[in-house]
Chain A
Amino acid sequence: MKERTFRQDHLLGIEQLSVGDIETILETAEAFIEVSSREVKKVPALKGKTVVNLFFENSTRTRSSFEIAAKRLSADLINFNSSISSLKKGETLKDTVLTLEAMNPHIIVIRHSASGSPHYLTTFARSSIVNAGDGFHEHPTQALLDALTIQQRLKTLRGLKIAIVGDILHSRVARSNILLHHKLGNEIALIGPPSLVPLEFEKMGARVHYDIRRGVKDADVVMMLRVQEERGAKNYFPSIREYRNRFAINREIFALAKKSAILMHPGPINRDVEIETSMADGEHSVILQQVTNGIAVRMAVLYLLKGEIHEALN
């Protein structure tokens, strides 16, 4: 059996991962699924390691998922929740992280509204940095857990058509998924109004569609993105009503996808906005499986990064 190598110090984004890295994470995650099915859901792999959840945006689900993942690996975990407004007024991100690092953590998981913040941390931090979502940029563990879910349901990650519907412009989930499926050679369709799906996204290896029917046709995976009301307020579209009429997924449109197609959503879902409520709970929906897989993927990432304290870049 070939031994895989994983030589990343940080998980900043899908962009930095090779196909081999992605496969290693997914294979490791598969092994961790079993741990979560045990009576005692704990292994000692990261015993004595400290993980900091550094969240500057509210995200109970991602934070909890990392928390459970860390705890199932027997790591010690601290949650540090703050807000962007306090960051602007008070202590800078650098000072916050330097203060936390004085307590010698091994891994810092960061969620931040500014794109590139995790990359910025790597310029001075000694811990391993895990990007749990940076601005509109990347959300790598989400794309990895999506990939794991696709692999479980469709038994492959190759030769697929992935349709992503919604606010691509402001979606880190979309970007990480585009990068991942482009690396794996899959066909990618991006669907939404031109104000939210600029044509330049085609340079990332995707096709842009303004007509959801065309985009979803023959898809193996239909991934819906959460639509934020404040985008309407900024005139990216006239109203939620009109958005729903053109871009929500319902049974009729989903029927254009392949018979085996699955319906995904990174959550939290807006029922009857981007997704017809019965579809969210329907037989094609894998939304809850995505959540479950999130823990295994995050365990794999934490395990593989290991949290070796290293020399800061500068």
Chain B
Amino acid sequence: MKLLIKNGRLIDPAGAVDQIMDILIENGRFREIAKSIKKISGCPTIEAKDMVVSPGFIDMHTHLREPGQENKESIESGARAAVHGGFTSIACMANTEPVNDNRSVTEYIIARARQVGLVNIFPVAAVSRGLLGENLVEMADLVEGGAVAFSDDGHCVMKADLIRKALEYAKMLDVPIIEHPEDHSISAEGQVNEGFISYKYGLRGMLKAAEEVIVARDLILQERIQSRLHLTHISTAGSVELIRNARKLKTPVSSDATPHHLLLNEELVQSYNPVYKVKPPLRTEADRLELIRGLQDGTIDCIASDHAPHTRDDKDKEFEFAPFGVIGMETSFAVVFDRLVRRKLLTINRLVELFSTNPARVLGLKNRGRVKTGFPADLTIFDPKKRFKIEEKEFRSKANNCPFLGWEGQGAVAHTIVSGNIVYSFKTR
């Protein structure tokens, strides 16, 4: 099995490559990367002229809902959504039913992912049993079973002592702890960012401080522990500043931001439309702009979608009663490319780092996020000129809770290639 990609602009920051290259794939791996590779008769060929060829995109924060809530999403529908959005690898969070806090659930997810094929799925296991914040999971056993990271995600590890021990123990295993920074005693019943908008519209607020006190706490602990700490979907200017300062002190920390926090602000909740109800909440315009600066100056390493599918009925409710979350895998690249790269806020090369190089490094995915001979052939090929319109009917996800519906722009995924297989092409549909 061979596949040849010709005349694309290969951008591979990990290999310091940005030039027109031909790529030959054989048996699921990169066979040859060279300025010109002769066409081979009988070998399928992708003509990638005027397109960008990137190491496969990796979404390090998704919710696939299986096992347990297959009415919202399943490993299969999630995988289809992922490749539609250009992702070749995704990491899925532990808040399934049952919770992914033991090896059998991790192995189940991996087995299902293999049956489905399409995309590489890397389970993130819980930090604490049952996500209850009390006792550590069997981390070593879970790593052997295939878990690549640990996170209590939305629950946040509220006990400082427990996150300390988790970071210490994970250091031995060389796996990251992913923290969703939110002090629940402050955010409590909050629905939206706390401030003028929440006060005016009578919605309970979540102070930015609820996020920042956990960011600060974890960074202080990490200063001594020097484990692998990843802060996910940071949303405030204060968090960016705390991470920036920690970096100066050489404290090991990585972080990601979501497309919705990068492109939307709290003003949208004035409509009381629950599609804008997310955690952390959409913040102010000043926060949004600081997140973009964080991407530019390297403080924030990755863009992750926090793809959180819900059924239509779940979200068709009073704002207060609707669940938090938006879907994102299918729109992340398009909206970020159009609104940040095309408007010159990010370079294409930085985008590739944020979507591929860095998530591979943060999750410790060996041989991914890089186009190198012998590595698994995961590629995302996109056309910077192709126009898109985000429409519900195009979604492969079971859900439609997308805040970008109706958005139009330029820049679309042309082909998603996982282990040498073309799993998505815009032309084939």
Q: A residues engaging B (CB < 8 A)? A: 87-88, 92-94, 112-117, 119-120, 134-138, 169, 172, 175, 198, 200-201, 203-204
Interchain CA distance A103-B316 in the complex, whole Å: 22
**Contacting pair A200 B317 (CB below 8 A):** no
**Given the known A-B contacts A117-B318, A119-B272, are A137 and B196 also in contact in the complex, defined by CB atoms under 8 Å?**
no
Bound state CA distance, A201 and B200, in angstroms?
8
Bound Cα distance from A276 to B321, whole angstroms:
38
Query: Chain B residues in contact with chain A, CB under 8 A?
Result: 195-196, 199-204, 271-272, 313, 316-321
Chain A residue nearest to B272 (CB atoms) is A116
CB distance from B156 to the nearest CB of A (A): 21
- Assess the A88–B321 pair: CB atoms within 8 A: yes
Question: In the bound complex, do residue B196 and residue A112 qualify as a contact, i.e. CB atoms below 8 Å apart?
Answer: no
Across the two chains, which residue of chain A brings its CB closest to B321? A114
Q: Do B201 and A115 have beta carbons less than 8 Å apart?
A: yes
Candidate in B195, B196, B318 with the most chain A CB atoms within 10 angstroms: B318
Q: How many angstroms between the C-alpha atoms of A138 and B202 in the bound complex?
A: 8
Shortest CB-to-CB span from B322 to chain A, Å, is: 9
- The answer to whether B199 and A115 touch across the interface, beta carbons within 8 angstroms, is no
Output the residue of A92, A113, A115, A203 with the most chain B CB within 10 A.
A115
- In the assembled complex, the CB of B108 is this many whole angstroms from the nearest CB of chain A, namely 31
With A114-B319, A116-B203, A138-B202 as known contacts, state yes or no: A200 contacts B195, CB within 8 Å: yes
Across the interface, do B202 and A134 meet the contact criterion of CB distance under 8 Å?
A: yes
Instruction: Find out whether the CB atom of A92 lies under 8 angstroms from the CB atom of B313.
Output: yes
Kindly list the 4 A-B residue pairs having the minimum CB-CB distance in the complex, ordered from nearest.
A116-B272, A137-B202, A136-B202, A114-B320
In the bound complex, CA of A282 to CA of B318 (Å): 42
What 10 additional pairs, Cβ within 8 angstroms, besides A87-B321, A114-B318, A200-B195? A114-B321, A115-B272, A116-B202, A116-B203, A117-B318, A120-B319, A135-B203, A137-B201, A201-B199, A203-B196
Whether the pair A204, B321 counts as a contact (CB closer than 8 A) is no
Task: Give the nearest-CB partner of B205 in chain A.
Answer: A198
How far apart are the CA atoms of A92 and B318 in the complex, in Å? Answer: 9
| Residues of chain B within 8 A of A120, CB atoms compared | 272, 317-319
B310 CB to nearest chain A CB (Å): 14
Q: Are A116 and B201 in contact (CB under 8 A)?
A: yes
Closest to A170 in B: B202
Alpha-carbon distance A117/B313, docked complex (angstroms): 16
| Chain B residue at minimum C-beta to C-beta distance from A117 | B318
Chain B positions within 8 Å of A117 at CB level: 318
Residue of A88, A92, A112, A175 touching B200 (CB-CB under 8 A): A175
Residues of B within 8 A of A119 (CB): 271-272
B202 touches A200 (CB 8 A): no
**Is B202 in contact with A172, judged by CB distance below 8 angstroms?**
yes
Residues of chain A contacted by B200 (CB below 8 angstroms) = 175, 203-204
Closest to B195 in A: A200
Q: Are B199 and A200 in contact (CB under 8 A)?
A: yes
Q: Is the CB of A200 within 8 A of B201?
A: no
Task: Give chain B residues whose Cβ lies under 8 Å from the Cβ of A93.
Answer: 317-318
B272/A198 in contact, CB under 8 A: no
Q: Is there an interface contact between B316 and A94, defined as CB atoms closer than 8 Å? A: yes
- Sample (11) of A-B pairs whose CB atoms are under 8 Å apart: A92-B317, A94-B316, A114-B320, A116-B203, A116-B272, A119-B271, A137-B203, A175-B200, A200-B195, A200-B196, A204-B200
Closest residue on chain B to residue A169 by CB atoms:
B199
Residues of B within 8 A of A88 (CB): 321
A200–B226 alpha-carbon span in the complex (Å): 40
A180 CB to closest chain B CB (Å) equals: 14
B318 to A, closest residue via Cβ: A114
Which single member of B195, B202, B271, B313 contacts A115 (CB below 8 Å)?
A: B202
Q: How far is the CB of B200 from chain A (nearest CB, A)?
A: 6
Q: Report the bound CA distance from A87 to B322 in whole Å.
A: 12
CA distance A137 to B199 in the complex (A): 8
Complex contacts, A204 vs chain B, CB 8 Å: 196, 199-200
Kindly provide the distance from the CB of A74 to the nearest chain B CB, expressed in whole angstroms. Answer: 32
**Chain A residues in 8 Å Cβ range of B202:** 115-116, 134-138, 172, 175
B261 to chain A, nearest CB (A): 21
